[in-house]
Amino acid sequence: MFPHSWKLIMEQDINITIIDREGVKHQIEAPTDMAMNLMEIVRSYELAPEGTIGICGGMAMCASCQCYVLSETELPEMQDDEEAMLSEAFDVKDNSRLGCQIQMTPEMEGLEVELAPES
């Protein structure tokens, strides 16, 4: 019975909110079974102009996917490469994270972020 119930949890979409760079709030259903990160969700829903987000391909090397976490969602601890990139980025706030480093998992249910201005 346990593996069956685990499968149901893994295939569940989560509800997240993304505020784009124009200030428009988007309610998104994000899949948790495709190993996608927040940057890829923004790109797949075309919430930022082509070529303005995820420029480095999600390697934490450009900060084009920087966002501000508005919800109390508990995120994975920031790794050294993400911290280093944010230390060099523009418009950084205390709640800044790189979208490419936030994996879409069931724990991200209710996540609300605002995309940082294009730099």
Give the separation between CA 65 and CA 78, rounded to whole angstroms. 15
pLDDT at residue 90, rounded to an integer: 96
pLDDT over 70 at 46, yes or no:
yes
Pull the structure tokens for residue 9: 């949890």
Q: How confident is the model at residue 104 (pLDDT cuts 50, 70, 90)?
A: very high
Instruction: Tell me the pLDDT tens digit for each residue of 20-44.
Output: 999 999 999 999 999 999 999 999 9
Pick 14-115's CATH classification: 3.30.499.10, 3.10.20.30, 3.40.250.10, 3.80.30.20.
3.10.20.30
User: First and final CA of the chain: distance in angstroms?
Assistant: 50
Residue 115 DSSP SS3: strand
pLDDT at residue 1, rounded to an integer: 45
Torsion of CA 58, 64, 65, 67, to 10 degrees: 150
Pull the structure tokens for residue 23: 């200030």
Q: What is the DSSP letter of 93?
A: -
Instruction: Tell me the pLDDT tens digit for each residue of 62-101.
Output: 999 999 999 999 999 999 999 999 999 999 999 999 999 9
Domain ranges of the chain: 14-115
Residues in the chain: 119
pLDDT at residue 119, rounded to an integer: 79
Give the separation between CA 21 and CA 59, rounded to whole angstroms. 22
| Residue 50: other Cβ atoms inside 10 A | 7
pLDDT at residue 42, rounded to an integer: 97
